[in-house]
Amino acid sequence: MKPFALPLAFKRTAIVGALATATLLQAPLTLADELRIGYQRSSTLMSVLRNNNSLEEKLAEQGVTIDWYEFTSGLPMLESLNVGNIDISADVADTVPIFAQAAGADLTFYASEAPSPAGQALIVLEDSDIETLEDLAGKRITVTRGAGNHYLLIAALESVGLTLDDVRVSYLPPADARAAFAQGNVDAWIAWEPFLSTSRATLETRTITDGSDGLASYTRYYLAATPYVEANPEVISTVYEALNEAGNWVNENPEEAAELLAPLWGNLDPDIVQTANLNRSYDVQPVTLEGLGEQQKIADAFFAADILPHAVDATDSPIWQPGE
């Protein structure tokens, strides 16, 4: 199992992520009585489980303890997963596993969330002259290179016969993208939650498109180190069941969930968090080969746009299924 290098597009986030990785290098080898979980502040369901201790309680019955490791973004988290410094990850956006696969990471899909196409959208300021996707020609658009919003841009342009060469793209991380958008330095931004709902609540915006019309499903995936899955399937099963319960709880208790998550998401207004959560399914499901069809579309689009160094088979990673 070999470590993989982050693509140049992610160097900025990798700097911070590397600090977490350096700490993790001191972690012990995986033991059957320990589960090391990587997560981000935006990892909704894992954050719920970490807060209510329900996963600890379930695993304690199996003689397993949990160590939690926070990361600033998905790629450094998967890199640490690949080199054996953590055992499983919380959810990552659909594009993240593709970069890990391109680097030859030995990772296993163990869960996904049902698509959340409204979880990202191409927005403009209210007074913009952009009314349709065709109007994007020649306009300044910001996305995060290699992220899900980058794929949505490619798919949206392609749907009206345009390409990335027909627009002026600024590749910015979300916080910088929001500032550029609010100041009018770009004409459009494809934002994802909770940045999307925050911008809609604090700026006068219009939505040109999201993924709801079939452009991009925006699926979240959970991954684990393949050796850990093979050695500890009963632990993975417990995690899967706990995630499913957490997803149901968030959907059935929107106000309470928003109050819990608001401080974790930078002290956002709970109303904004609740709105953002409505655009996510939080419906935990098994991963299937058929369900990875859009992953292949993303991989092919990124390879064609020179975002990936080589072609990727999106189905070329093991899939754990409940009951295994």
Note whether 102 and 244 are same-domain residues.
Answer: yes
Has residue 19 got a pLDDT over 80? no
122 plus 204 within the same structural domain: yes
Residue 163's domain comprises 117-213
Structure token digits, residue 133? 């996707």
Tokens representing residue 286 in the block: 């098994």
Cα 315 from chain centroid (whole Å): 18
Residues 86 and 129 in one domain: no
Co-location of 39 and 130 in the same domain: no
Q: Which CATH number goes with the domain that contains 135?
A: 3.40.190.10
Whether 146 and 108 share a structural domain? no
Give the pLDDT confidence score for residue 32 in this predicted structure: 64
Q: Would the pLDDT of 10 be above 60?
A: no
Share of the chain above pLDDT 90, in %: 86
Q: What is the pLDDT of residues 188-221, one digit of tens each?
A: 999 999 999 999 999 999 999 999 889 999 999 9
DSSP collapsed to 3 states, 80-148? HHHCCCCCEEEEEECCHHHHHHHCCCCEEEEEEECCCHHHEEEEEECCCCCCCHHHHCCCEEEECCCCH
Question: 124-138 b/e with 16+ CB inside 10 Å = b?
Answer: bbeebebeebebbee
Residue 14 pLDDT greater than 90, yes or no: no
Q: Are residues 112 and 223 in the same domain?
A: yes
313 occurs within a structural domain = no
Question: Does 1 reside within a domain?
Answer: no
When divided into structural domains, the chain yields a total of 2
Per-residue pLDDT reduced to its tens digit, 82-127: 999 999 999 999 999 999 999 999 999 999 999 999 999 999 999 9
What pLDDT is recorded for position 12? 34
Checking if the pLDDT of 29 tops 70, the result is no
Provide the pLDDT confidence category of residue 313 given band limits of 50, 70 and 90. Answer: very high
Mean pLDDT on 226-235: 96
Which of residues 17 and 178 earns the better pLDDT score? 178
d(CA 190, CA 48): 27
Residue 8: CB atoms within 10 Å:
11
Asked whether residue 69 falls in the same domain as residue 94, the answer is yes
Together in a domain, 231 and 299: yes
